[in-house]
Amino acid sequence: MNDLSHQVFLSNAAAASSTVEIPYYQPVANECALFELAYQRQLPLLIKGPTGCGKTRFVAHMAAKLARPLITVACHDDLSAADLVGRHLIGDGETLWSDGPLTRAVRQGGICYLDEIVEARKDTTVVLHPLTDDRRILPIERTGEELAAPNEFMLVVSYNPGYQNLLKNLKPSTRQRFLAIQFDYPNAELEQSILIKEAGIDLALATRLVDIARRFRQLKQHDLDEAASTRLLVYAANLIAAGCPPVEACAAALVEPLSDDLDTIAALMEVIKLHFGSGKVPTKTS
């Protein structure tokens, strides 16, 4: 990108930040800069990371920062190519074409975010291939169209590597079409600042919650299938800020979502009670 184009890009981003509320996101490393470079160069992006670590919030943050419409698709086992591209619908005695979310994003020059792409059927991802190489086109076989993606269009996909197995993974032919960023849970200090910003709690409470989460994360792949996510910490912090007793808030937000095993639940509750006891904990920042 030349200097003039770069200035225009920065100008557009500045305009977006002044007119659109940008979702809060706290950078961990250079992920924001990498996203912007991928956008500038029309490169597709793959985001890898555990559940609740901020992948979706990051994409929403960047879309608002870049002043681009964001179309998000939550992928699932029954997601077909037609669900993404579009299909003919019958109504009022005539057949009409209805664009799918991927087609809408291409037409609008928006950002299309496919969340948990490995959940989609394997044959579905093939439709992405022409958009993720130098062609940057979307063939629509049912209408005979061949849409050329404008420079503003960007394809972003994500998945949780912890869920990968022989039946659910990305084919190498698909993976190697994307830049990739590895996400993880933020360090303790950063995670504390996120809780303070999101829930309005004080540093002492944020420190306790983050320490609980880190103790829980040590149990992953032993007693827990999934770690306590930053998202669940935010839920717990919001419950406490709203007046819920800390032990009850943590039980609802950090324990019950993680396990159904009664022994595991009892062990996790012991960790929480060690941190909070029965005393009242201040929740608001001054």
* CATH 3.40.50.300 for the 3-182 domain, yes or no: yes
pLDDT per residue as tens digits for the range 75-123: 999 999 999 999 989 877 788 899 999 999 999 999 999 999 999 887 7
Instruction: Give domain limits for the chain.
Output: 3-182, 188-276
**248 touches 205 (CB < 8 A):** no
DSSP 4-50: HHHHHHHHHHHHHHHHSPPPP----SSHHHHHHHHHHTT--EEEE--
pLDDT per residue as tens digits for the range 149-193: 999 999 999 999 876 554 567 888 888 999 999 999 999 999 999
Read off the pTM. 0.85
